[in-house]
Chains A and B, each alone.
Chain A
């Protein structure tokens, strides 16, 4: 006898079976370029772009929480999420984002294509978006995403399978979806987009797979590409003389753009860091300086052309990406740029032309080579002979990873999360094959004899002013506020507040999982909050293998002073 099927209940979107509200108030509708341009002074209650402001200072004018009362800081709410089913990089997912806050609504991305809108006062989920990510997408460094951009009623996110998606900020529904990269070529995307004018700027990931790095601009209303700027020149283009003339090396040269850049509206320039050359450690197959890898490039935001560049590690043999932020600041009327590179040196450049102003080391142990006061680079220890181990400091994660420093105009100090860890590397040549990791080496990062700090440096002289030391490296972004506080998370879970003037530890809270994200601050109805995503993971084997057993987490903690 044939049994008739009964109708199953209708299929649902998973988010409808949660306590989420389903919609967010229309606060993002009026986020314009002008508002983003004047964000710090114009609306200190918000954090509306990746660094809080185009200058990348990660500094807030909010001062309700200060050195006197920070000891009373307490959790206000916690947003928790977790993994469902079997997703890409199930052992490497981490919560790396910078949350954005617009007039009481928080927009934050997670691992594996998640984006959430959350009530920034209560922690209640408003909506969720999930981009379906292929299980087999190429990820060098974990299932992560560093954040979203918001403008004109839209939330922009780059997905791990290299799409750029614009969401309706009120509902989380996709408005447009543009393919940004080629997953079959090992490309992905983890960067937080940056909105400038009517464009959303997005960089590539995939340097460990021998891709050709690029920075792209898309129209925020249509998703159409406005320009693409490749970071590896083709033969005949400016910079191509730094690649072998008769080879294919440039085609797989790396130079990806996986961390958000900064922007100077007067110069109309983006300052974007580029990643390592490929293969990471085998320089013999790519003789030359390998422009524009390991550089900051000044890009005309209107047409995507490179105006100038400064290369921090020519002919890199140590995996010293230079993606990390370029902080814009002024001194004696001069437009400057500060950059703490993976190679252990603190660079100050004239950002109008890329001229070196000062360069000084910012970590204790640097053995890979030396950079003199004029910027001349002398390599000393590097993988050269096939199969022969060499040990150098800093390791491939760098003296500072992508996680961000901050600058306080009140103290005129930069605050830097420092990693002091070495690594053993042996060159191991391999053929290039599309979609297969292309390192050219065997690598083991030290899991002993390591340390870290938050170190403060004078913006005027680049000299160290104070140092808060930690037994293990510091692997999360820091935040500076006008309350003279520096917030910094530890790999072991503590979230700390330091006195920005002295480095004294004033407050600490154990969040239960390591920090590898970027805290922000905002206020609603006159109450200041500090928010930090917490979720240990990513490429721990590269930046802190001594903590590879650390607990994964997936929470966003928000702190405030007790209400009177």
Chain B
């Protein structure tokens, strides 16, 4: 195990021990993106990306909390609300935000267009779902096209 992974594990254990990854334990809600895990979008042979995100019962999180797209483009996301309360998702997309209402135990599908690279937050923008933990991140990997990069030798990064 690398030092970084070991530090990450220790952090997760400490967070869990304190209860920051649960509702109404250490804090009133749950610390953002802790507990929902990370998943990668699937890319079809047509280049279109797909993923599923669910809201588990009584946890007030999106699962996965971190969704990774291998590159910018369009992605279809199935949203499943397994909770016994109603929530929603306000998601970034070029053109306008996409808003999906999610009654108890419902399923909705959204299509997003994201440039990347970078990461974007989305959330359930009702009540204080956001403060409780219903925030998720969509991470877009990759680089900008070669023609958009600066004409200079490769530069050092951290």
Give the B-binding residues of A (Cβ under 8 A).
3, 5-15, 17, 84-87, 128-137, 161-163, 173-174, 177, 179-185, 187, 211-212, 214, 225, 230, 234, 248, 251-252, 431-436
Residues of A with C-beta under 8 A to B109: 11
B150, A14: Cβ atoms under 8 Å? no
A433, B125: Cβ atoms under 8 Å? no
B97, A11: Cβ atoms under 8 Å? no
Closest-CB distance, A211 to chain B (whole angstroms): 6
Rounded to whole angstroms, the CA-CA distance of A179 and B142 in the bound complex is 14
Q: Is B92 engaged at the interface, CB distance under 8 Å to the other chain?
A: yes
Provide the main secondary structure of the chain A interface: loop
Residue of A nearest to B150 (CB): A212
B95, A173: Cβ atoms under 8 Å? yes
A162, B148: Cβ atoms under 8 Å? yes
Residues of A with C-beta under 8 A to B12: none
Q: What are the 5 closest A-B residue pairs judged by CB atoms, nearest first?
A: A134-B118, A8-B108, A132-B92, A179-B148, A5-B107
B17-25, B39-47, B98-106: which lies at the interface: B98-106
Q: Is B14 engaged at the interface, CB distance under 8 Å to the other chain?
A: no
A13-B96, A174-B94 given; A3·B105 CB < 8 A? yes
A11-B108, A12-B98, A13-B97 given; A85·B123 CB < 8 A? yes
Please indicate which of the listed interface residues B90, B147, B151, B155 has the most CB atoms of chain A within 10 Å of its own CB. B155
A11-B98, A14-B96 given; A84·B90 CB < 8 A? yes
19 A–B pairs (Cβ distance < 8 Å), ordered by A: A8-B103, A8-B106, A13-B96, A14-B98, A84-B90, A85-B90, A85-B122, A86-B121, A132-B114, A134-B118, A134-B140, A135-B118, A162-B148, A179-B115, A183-B118, A212-B150, A234-B151, A251-B153, A434-B156
The digit string for B6-44, where 1 denotes a CB below 8 A from any CB of A, is 000000000000000000000000000000000000000
A6-B105, A8-B81, A184-B144 given; A129·B151 CB < 8 A? no
A433, B95: Cβ atoms under 8 Å? no
A8-B107, A129-B95, A129-B96 given; A183·B119 CB < 8 A? no
A135, B90: Cβ atoms under 8 Å? no
Residue of A nearest to B110 (CB): A11
Contact of B115 among A17, A129, A163 (CB under 8 A): A163
Rounded to whole angstroms, the CA-CA distance of A87 and B125 in the bound complex is 13
A432, B156: Cβ atoms under 8 Å? yes
Residues of A with C-beta under 8 A to B152: 212, 251-252
Residue of A nearest to B145 (CB): A179
Residues of A with C-beta under 8 A to B81: 8
Residue of A nearest to B155 (CB): A434
Rounded to whole angstroms, the CA-CA distance of A128 and B96 in the bound complex is 8
Contact of A433 among B113, B117, B135, B158 (CB under 8 A): B158
The digit string for B119-152, where 1 denotes a CB below 8 A from any CB of A, is 1111101000010000101001001110111111
Rounded to whole angstroms, the CA-CA distance of A183 and B145 in the bound complex is 11
A3-B105, A5-B105, A183-B144 given; A135·B97 CB < 8 A? no
B151, A134: Cβ atoms under 8 Å? no
A13, B118: Cβ atoms under 8 Å? no
Residues of A with C-beta under 8 A to B157: 433-435
Residue of A nearest to B118 (CB): A134
B148, A11: Cβ atoms under 8 Å? no
Contact of A7 among B90, B107, B115, B155 (CB under 8 A): B107
A7, B148: Cβ atoms under 8 Å? no
Closest-CB distance, A156 to chain B (whole angstroms): 15
Residues of A with C-beta under 8 A to B119: 134-136
Residues of A with C-beta under 8 A to B150: 181-182, 185, 187, 211-212, 214
A161, B115: Cβ atoms under 8 Å? yes
Q: Is B60 engaged at the interface, CB distance under 8 Å to the other chain?
A: no
A7, B123: Cβ atoms under 8 Å? no
A182-B148, A211-B150, A212-B152 given; A17·B117 CB < 8 A? no
Q: Is B116 engaged at the interface, CB distance under 8 Å to the other chain?
A: yes
Q: Is B80 engaged at the interface, CB distance under 8 Å to the other chain?
A: yes
A11, B144: Cβ atoms under 8 Å? no
Residues of A with C-beta under 8 A to B108: 7-11
Rounded to whole angstroms, the CA-CA distance of A212 and B107 in the bound complex is 47
Closest-CB distance, B90 to chain A (whole angstroms): 6
Residues of B with C-beta under 8 A to A251: 152-153, 155
Closest-CB distance, A216 to chain B (whole angstroms): 10
Closest-CB distance, B65 to chain A (whole angstroms): 13
B156, A134: Cβ atoms under 8 Å? no
Residues of A with C-beta under 8 A to B107: 5-8
B90, A130: Cβ atoms under 8 Å? no
B148, A180: Cβ atoms under 8 Å? yes
Residues of B with C-beta under 8 A to A86: 121, 123, 130, 135
Rounded to whole angstroms, the CA-CA distance of A79 and B99 in the bound complex is 23
Residue of B nearest to A13 (CB): B96
Please indicate which of the listed interface residues A3, A12, A212 has the most CB atoms of chain B within 10 Å of its own CB. A12
